[in-house]
Structure 1
């Protein structure tokens, strides 16, 4: 009986060991699989703040014409335009207007100086160039349908340039009327202000020279002694300004 019980005990122990071994094996085979969950990082979108820049203030552009028009004086017409033709030494056309130089005159084209004067005008104010027209406030009535004015081309005073060149002469008979008679260039070539004229009325003015007050001889004067050129000379011409006796003094 004891032997039987011992056998049964051994069998139970062996069974327990076997069961335990089986259980361990299953445990190892069924090791849990840990799934890796890869979390995708959210894309980082860099939000660049939109910088709204204020527009630059409009550039103030001063055109050449605007600058030129600052040269105008008085209240009469002042405008700029394109030179469309050069008629002669003292007349040009700008747009649809015929412009006669105020206080500045040139010989006719049949005179060799007249051709030279026209060439000078064409050089300073060539066809196609821009010109500024400053109408003479004292002569708004014009002359034979032409506007009497000072003409500027490329900031050059055409009236003055014509006189300075010696190819033109002062239209002195209009000094009393012209707005430009008191300008430096007009006075340089013979126009005198009212105060000077009043003084000269009482001075020794020779009647042979009605355009200006030129004192009688003595002293004897030559053309180089006076600023006036191409003026009216009447007999007896004590200073002999009119060498060729054509009624015009100091022509050269």
Structure 2
């Protein structure tokens, strides 16, 4: 991997977190603020998370050392600090990376990412030049303007055996392909359920995991729980009768 190479959310999926490095700005008597975050990922190397203005930038890059900023204070660099919430996931594999959008009715932008691990998740946000790591915390008034596209309005089971698979649409209309086979589950984003549309830039991997069971079947509830997805209130769920794609036996609200 080349230093300063731009990376994408899907590049992180399936990578084990080996180490966390943080850079903190210290100035006068103010509390230190987080400037840079590096996640050291197996087979990928250190990934730099920083916020150029709003939102996050992901790039390949080695951590630098501490240095003085003169009248602007100093920068300290720390590895695996217990005070950094993401450190608790060291040794675990990133299962999914989901986009967090901000929209207050006047301004809209991609604010950050949620990284899901087997034991929990963490939010990394870039808000007005500040890098924020949020774990199990409510962010006050800004919380009402943050949104993740994880609620499903409609789910159609297309195979009930091996693989277990579904077509799904989120409440914003995004199509997702859900699949589980040999203990491996995945969620893919595509423009539509038409496989001829799956090769472009609008297609990407959302989630991938291996539960180690080599199982050939999973029910929808367990799949959604593992993948970090939800059924929206009143969601349509169609089940197959075993005849294959599109053979639905009924409709039930969630």
TM-score by length of 1: 0.24
Q: TM-score, normalised by structure 2?
A: 0.24
Q: Which has the higher strand share?
A: 2
- The structure with more helix, counted as a fraction of residues: 1
